Structure 1
Amino acid sequence: MLYRKTALRVAAPVAVLALALTACGGDDGKKEATGKAKPGARATGQSATGESKEGLVSATYDVTAQKVELGTEAETAKMVSDPEAAKGLIPAVAHVKYTYKSATALAQSPRVSYSTRIWADGRRGTLIVGAADGKQGCENPRSIKGWKKGESHVLCETYLVPEDTKELEVHWSDQDGEAYIWKFAADK
């Protein structure tokens, strides 16, 4: 059973990359809300409050995108099965702080970070599942059990973006699909 779980963790990023690279940066037909007063742009460090479906219940969180760390093309080559297909792409790791606001502690691992996306110069990047595991400053959501009101955790997501990106955005959508957006310069 342990072998199967490990194999799935290793195979998932490869499968996701293979599917995603065919439409890298492409429009998947879904639009994220950006022009409404409640969601929309946030200043760096400014939090947003939203709900996330956690199993059968809705949980409320304060969410703050703290930073985006950019990697190198050499790091990308180590993450993917076909480095040639990912040429010109670099990893971008979004560090997002979530503070749990609901009264009842979470019984299972949180799913709140699943709706985090990274956009580069107006185009959505390509998700690399599990690439942020073990990254300094990033916690593993699978190790968080019994998350209580007032506790905060930093969860990270890794996306591949073009190496020449100028502006990055971290999008987080609550369960109603409302997108909150934080903008960052692509400092390398």
Structure 2
Amino acid sequence: MGNRKTSWLGAAVPVAVLALTLTACGGGGGDGKGEAKGSTSKLQEDKPSSREMATGESATSAFKEDDGKITYDVLAQKVDVGTEADTKKMVDDPAKAKGFVPAVAHVKYTNKGGGVVASYPSVGDNVEIYADGRRGTILIGAADDAPGCESDTDIENWKKGASHVLCETYMVPKGTKELAVHWSAEDDGEPYVWTFKTS
């Protein structure tokens, strides 16, 4: 029992569940990688496929919490990438995750107004990590104890002006060169995207 905290991702590891649909991104057209940044088409501007954010740039968006519509500043700070040894400690069946490593997105949320979030904020639920353009596989329950991450279950009475760092863990292929953190206010909304080079 004493050495369970040796993993860089902390002690919650045995509870983690690998949602193993390994890069099941072939399911249909919604997440097209349309890089319409330089496009002159006015139709394209009405429905951007994503909103590219610079490193250190935060997005401001309203988000529907149980307590009402809260305006948040959202900033993907970094992505910590683990090793295959970390993967073996984190998943029930390491053979299924061979060649994959954990990637933990650290996202800072600041309540800018709209009310107080009494408990269990949902704003951190809509985070995805893409590895070299392909969606990773979420690892449920692994990020709460990662260094620098808070658990949404511990947050109470989140008032205007206060910030919290919530994390999400995905499994990505070892050797990934570029990781992109996607966040949107709605499950099917246009995401804000922060890109991080891994080398």
For normalisation by structure 2, the TM-score amounts to 0.80
How many angstroms apart in 1 are the aligned matches of 2:130 and 2:13? 25
| CA shift for structure 1 position 57 | 2.0
| CA shift for structure 1 position 52 | 1.9
Do the aligned partners of residues 118 and 172 (structure 1) sit closer, same or farther apart at CA in structure 2, a change above 3 Å counting?
same
How many angstroms apart in 2 are the aligned matches of 1:92 and 1:41? 20
Q: Secondary structure at the match of 1:69?
A: strand
In the alignment, does 2:84 pair up with 1:81? no
| CA shift for structure 1 position 30 | 6.2
Do the aligned partners of residues 26 and 12 (structure 1) sit closer, same or farther apart at CA in structure 2, a change above 3 Å counting?
farther
In the alignment, does 2:40 pair up with 1:29? no
**1:65, 1:94 within 8 Å by CA — same for their partners in 2?**
yes
Q: 1:183 maps to what in 2?
A: 195
Q: Is the helix fraction higher in 1 or 2?
A: 1
Q: Secondary structure at the match of 1:31?
A: helix
Q: 1:124 maps to what in 2?
A: 135
Give the aligned residue type for 1:146.
N
Q: 1:53 maps to what in 2?
A: 64
Unaligned runs of 5+ in 1: 1-8
Q: Secondary structure at the match of 1:146?
A: strand
For normalisation by structure 1, the TM-score amounts to 0.84
Q: Identify the match of residue 113 of structure 1 among 124, 134, 141.
A: 124
Q: 2:16 maps to what in 1?
A: 13
Do the aligned partners of residues 32 and 22 (structure 1) sit closer, same or farther apart at CA in structure 2, a change above 3 Å counting?
closer
| CA shift for structure 1 position 174 | 1.2
In the alignment, does 2:93 pair up with 1:94? no
Q: 1:166 maps to what in 2?
A: 177
Q: Secondary structure at the match of 2:148?
A: coil
Do the aligned partners of residues 29 and 163 (structure 1) sit closer, same or farther apart at CA in structure 2, a change above 3 Å counting?
same
How many angstroms apart in 2 are the aligned matches of 1:56 and 1:178? 23
Q: After TM superposition, which residue ranges in structure 1, 4 or more long, deviate above 6 angstroms?
A: 9-12
How many angstroms apart in 2 are the aligned matches of 1:55 and 1:12? 26
Unaligned runs of 5+ in 2: 1-11, 37-43
**1:137, 1:154 within 8 Å by CA — same for their partners in 2?**
yes
| CA shift for structure 1 position 29 | 3.1
Percent of residue pairs identical? 53
Single out whichever of 117-126 and 49-58 deviates more from structure 2.
49-58
| CA shift for structure 1 position 25 | 4.6
Q: State the aligned residue count.
A: 175
